[in-house]
Structure 1
Amino acid sequence: MHPNPLFRTEDRALIERLVEQVGFGMVFLTIPDGPRVAHTPILMTSDNRLQFHLARHNALSPHLDGAQALVTVNGPDGYVSPRWYDNRDTVPTWDYAAVEIEGNVRAMTYAELEQFLHAVIEKHEERIAGERWEATETNAQLWDRLAKGITGFEMTITALRPTLKLSQKKSPEERQRIANGHAENGSGDLAEFMMGIAR
């Protein structure tokens, strides 16, 4: 988390919306072989829990049940050029949104894992244009074999540490110019996020 309090928020709904929109995170844990990270789809539930799954043979999988872990979710980000400032006699920086999620992890049952998988599929199939794919299109034997190759985990969230570094130190006019710069250079999602939480 960025040390500047200007880049923090207590807006839980905004944090949850960011996690929901991204839907993908990185799980960090120190294991006997050293620090490791795994990348995974995630779901935040309404009861302050975060769910995810890893391959059964992932280095983290045998160590997560009962552990305290950290998950990070990276939202939109983009380079900020001094050409967008009133005074160009400065240096570049980076705008970004990210959330650190800390908590205690437990392994899911197979039934819970299946419920999680169906929820993830439902969520992301809704986001894609065209004819939907349904999990029932996979034959039961193949589904069972592949599902048994992964482990589901659920984290009880004990801390949420968001960083929304979105040029808040600049004037409203400069922030609009920066947002326009992001939009014109392939970071439209960052521009929308910036202006959606303008202060």
Structure 2
Amino acid sequence: MRQNPSFAMTDIVELRRIIAEHPWVTLVSDTPDGLVASHYAVLLDEGADDLTIVGHVGKPDDLIHGLGERELLVVVQGPHGYISPGWYPPGPNVPTWNFVSVHLAGVPEILSTEENLAVLELLVARFESAMPGPRLMWEPPNDEDFVRRLERGTVGFRLRPTRVTAKRKLSQNRPDEVVDTIIAQLEDGAGPYADPRLPGEMRRAHDALRQARSAQAEKGEATR
């Protein structure tokens, strides 16, 4: 992903939030047979306060990716959407696409059987807990034999990224009034591109910009 300093995300708290809120990721490996991509859910490692993630793949995806033997790229896709030139002031303009994306790269560590079981349990709990009657991994009618057979069909991994590229392209290069108009259009339930997640991210980004500008202005006044 080509980086632009104006759109770079570096705040680890924000990066962790994006990963936690968008756990369905794309795994990409460069193998002797060419590029391979798979799609799985991941979690932030509870034992780390950085961007370490844990997850699993189903066999034989571990062999197809060469899991644990070569670099793995994990693509986390946050909110994104089309931005119409009709939402800008009159004049020459073209459409664009706003988005938030995080790329994590490194050689993953293969988990032990018990570690993998713990990750599988956490994954089930993470998503099942929202259900009115959660079916957790170890609860009946699942028994230990069933769960352990399930585990043997998977390979767990932990990725401590050695390279991180994160981009938040959310109209930061536009005036405040234009950004407010775009947000209003995206929040309009009647519009074909309405999506409350994207304007929510835009608000976060632009609130941070406004605070930074205000702090800079106050600093400038103080030095006069």
Q: Is the 8 A contact 1:55 1:61 kept in 2?
A: no
Cα distance, 1:60 vs structure 2: 4.8
Provide the alpha-carbon RMSD of the alignment: 1.6
- The equivalent position to 2:72 in structure 1, one of 58, 69, 72, is 69
Alignment of 1:36-185 (within 5 A): 36-45=36-45, 46-48=48-50, 49-58=52-61, 60-61=63-64, 63-126=66-129, 128-135=130-137, 136-137=139-140, 138-184=142-188, 185=193
Q: Is the 8 A contact 1:44 1:50 kept in 2?
A: yes
**Structure with the larger strand share:** 1
Aligned to 1:168, the other structure's residue is in SS state coil
Q: Is the 8 A contact 1:61 1:151 kept in 2?
A: no
**Following the alignment from structure 2 to structure 1, what is the Cα–Cα distance between the partners of residues 178 and 63?**
44
Give the equivalent residue in structure 1 for 2:194. 186
- The equivalent position to 1:197 in structure 2, one of 202, 205, 208, is 205
Gaps of 5+ in 1: none
Gaps of 5+ in 2: 210-224
**Following the alignment from structure 1 to structure 2, what is the Cα–Cα distance between the partners of residues 61 and 109?**
19
TM-score (norm 2): 0.83
Identity of aligned pairs, percent?
25
Cα distance, 1:125 vs structure 2: 2.3
| Bigger relative contact order, structure 1 or 2 (CA pairs below 8 A, ≥6 apart) | 1
Give the equivalent residue in structure 1 for 2:28. 28
**Following the alignment from structure 1 to structure 2, what is the Cα–Cα distance between the partners of residues 41 and 157?**
17
Cα distance, 1:154 vs structure 2: 1.1
Cα distance, 1:68 vs structure 2: 1.7
Q: Is the 8 A contact 1:67 1:106 kept in 2?
A: no
TM-score (norm 1): 0.92
